[in-house]
């Protein structure tokens, strides 16, 4: 098992900067905004909490998480919630509890496949509906699962991401409903990774699978994206109020007791405050949504102007350009034939760090890359905070300069003199 492609990109950025090399850091999916002072205060106040806590999490944090989901139209009791040091270990423990093979959308976040492989299972990848992301096409999933079972495999769980990493797209309600119906027919558990839920750019009904398949959907979230607290490592899983949900929760709790014992106590107290949705933090998330949406759409426009096919991002902070219309030119001038070739040339020739689509399970020959836009929000907390509160983030001098630099580099890549 190699280091996660996203974390490896972050390390590559740090190494190149330490060497004095120019870097346009568009590879690592970190939220890129400063911690809110009230969250810092809560963490400081709880710093003396050094005892082991309950494996599932302290009552205050589980009750707050239950309230968080209930206010988002997913009625939840505290007994359905289990906390972990980030949503990644919770997802891994859930895959272990589910057993059998894992069905993934194609493309999908890098760690889903890696976690499946750590458990000795090659994932079953199913394309997403045209123009969408994060959810396997229901008809294609039905066919793939039935074929896998005929071949002696044992698919038991499907993972969906809403909104999606890497594409930045939000699956339609129609696609999610169809996925839920197919999962019920195939008796699949649904793992709904909704870590970017609060960062959907446009208001509207959120298509959570828990609304249409409540008896089989496990939903996960954390504070790493909406509040930019990735390094604090705290997440939560909501299990169904059903016999299946109770069995899965107890299995995950047992795994947790042997792997991480309990979620760090100071983080739980900070999370209890954050998941209660105090007005100050609700306002902070609204600012983050505006910042991510403004910059992501500007970055998408830059790739579109360069000749790429790119759909407008709908949530999170990712853009998924496809260089297919430029394939002949890229092959002739740079010898590019795969997404890995494309990412390598962007890094070595232009200092632009992106991840190849193949890292997310896309066909290697497809010329897709994932672009994480948060790397241009600023070099320090002062700049990032200024970008956060600006009504026109793309007009901040350092962001405008980075966007202009990206356009120049794309021009040199796609239309070399």
Provide, rounded to the nearest whole percent, the portion of the chain with pLDDT above 70. 94
Q: What is the pLDDT of residue 229?
A: 83
The CATH number covering residue 59 comes to 3.40.640.10
Residue with tokens 């027919």: 185
Question: Looking at the domain assignment, is residue 36 inside a domain?
Answer: no
Question: Looking at the domain assignment, is residue 41 inside a domain?
Answer: no
The CATH number covering residue 358 comes to 3.90.1150.10
Q: What is the pLDDT of residue 20?
A: 64
Q: What is the pLDDT of residue 27?
A: 87
Question: Looking at the domain assignment, is residue 100 inside a domain?
Answer: yes
β-strands 369-372, 318-319 pairing: antiparallel
**E strands in 120-196:** 124-127, 155-161, 189-193
Last residue of a domain, one of 251, 275, 299: 275
User: What pTM was estimated for this model as a whole?
Assistant: 0.92
Q: What is the pLDDT of residue 286?
A: 96
Regarding whether 284 and 257 lie in a shared domain, the answer is no
Last residue of a domain, one of 275, 305, 321: 275
Mean pLDDT computed over every residue of the chain:
93
Average pLDDT of 377-395? 94
β-strands 235-238, 81-84 pairing: antiparallel
Regarding whether 298 and 155 lie in a shared domain, the answer is no
Regarding whether 271 and 290 lie in a shared domain, the answer is no
User: Which pLDDT band, with edges at 50, 70 and 90, does 417 fall under?
Assistant: low
Least confident of 15-24, 150-159, 221-230, 379-388: 15-24
Regarding whether 121 and 16 lie in a shared domain, the answer is no
Residue 5 or 98, more confident: 98
Regarding whether 268 and 130 lie in a shared domain, the answer is yes
* Alpha carbon distance 25, 4 (integer Å): 17
Residue with tokens 């106040």: 45
Report the domain count for the chain.
2
The pLDDT tens digits for 105-153 are 999 999 999 999 999 999 999 999 999 999 999 999 999 999 999 999 9
Average pLDDT of 166-170? 97
- CB 236, CB 81: distance < 8 Å: yes
Regarding whether 179 and 121 lie in a shared domain, the answer is yes
Regarding whether 172 and 265 lie in a shared domain, the answer is yes
Q: What is the pLDDT of residue 10?
A: 64
Question: Looking at the domain assignment, is residue 43 inside a domain?
Answer: no
Range of the domain at 264: 49-275
């Amino acid at each position: 098992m190699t280091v996660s492609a996203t974390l490896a990109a972050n390390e590559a950025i740090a190494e190149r900067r330490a060497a004095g090399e120019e870097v346009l850091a568009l590879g690592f999916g970190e939220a890129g905004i400063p911690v809110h002072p009230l969250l810092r205060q809560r963490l400081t106040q709880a710093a003396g909490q050094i005892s082991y806590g309950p494996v599932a999490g302290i009552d205050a944090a589980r009750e707050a998480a239950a309230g968080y989901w209930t206010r988002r139209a997913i009625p939840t009791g505290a007994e359905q919630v289990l906390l972990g040091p980030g949503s990644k270990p919770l997802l891994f423990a859930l895959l272990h509890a589910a057993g059998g093979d894992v069905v993934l959308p194609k493309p999908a976040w890098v760690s889903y496949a890696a976690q499946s492989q750590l458990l000795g299972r090659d994932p079953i990848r199913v394309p997403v509906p045209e123009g969408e992301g994060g959810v396997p096409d229901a008809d294609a999933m039905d066919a793939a699962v039935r074929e896998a079972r005929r071949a002696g495999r044992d698919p038991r769980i499907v993972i969906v991401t809403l909104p999606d990493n890497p594409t930045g797209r939000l699956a339609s309600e129609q696609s999610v409903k169809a996925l839920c119906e197919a999962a019920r027919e195939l008796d699949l558990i649904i793992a709904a990774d909704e870590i970017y839920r609060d960062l959907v750019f446009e208001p509207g009904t959120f298509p959570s699978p828990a609304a249409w398949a409540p008896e089989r959907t496990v939903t996960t979230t954390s504070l790493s994206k909406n509040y930019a607290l990735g390094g604090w490592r705290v997440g939560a899983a909501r299990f169904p109020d059903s016999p299946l949900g109770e069995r899965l929760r107890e299995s995950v709790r047992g795994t947790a007791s042997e792997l991480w014992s309990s979620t760090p106590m100071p983080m739980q107290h900070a999370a209890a405050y954050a998941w209660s949705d105090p007005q100050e933090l609700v306002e902070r998330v609204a600012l983050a949504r505006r910042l991510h949406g403004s910059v992501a759409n500007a970055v998408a426009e830059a790739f579109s102007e360069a000749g790429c096919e790119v759909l407008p991002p709908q949530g999170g902070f990712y853009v998924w350009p496809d260089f297919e219309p430029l394939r002949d030119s890229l092959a002739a001038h740079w010898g590019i034939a795969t997404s890995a070739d494309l990412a390598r040339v962007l890094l070595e020739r232009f200092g632009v760090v992106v991840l190849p689509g193949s890292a997310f399970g896309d066909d290697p020959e497809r010329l897709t890359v994932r672009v994480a836009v948060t790397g241009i929000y600023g070099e320090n907390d002062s700049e990032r905070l200024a970008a956060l509160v600006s009504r026109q983030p793309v007009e901040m001098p350092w962001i405008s300069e980075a966007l202009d630099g990206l356009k120049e580099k794309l021009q040199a890549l796609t239309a070399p003199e």
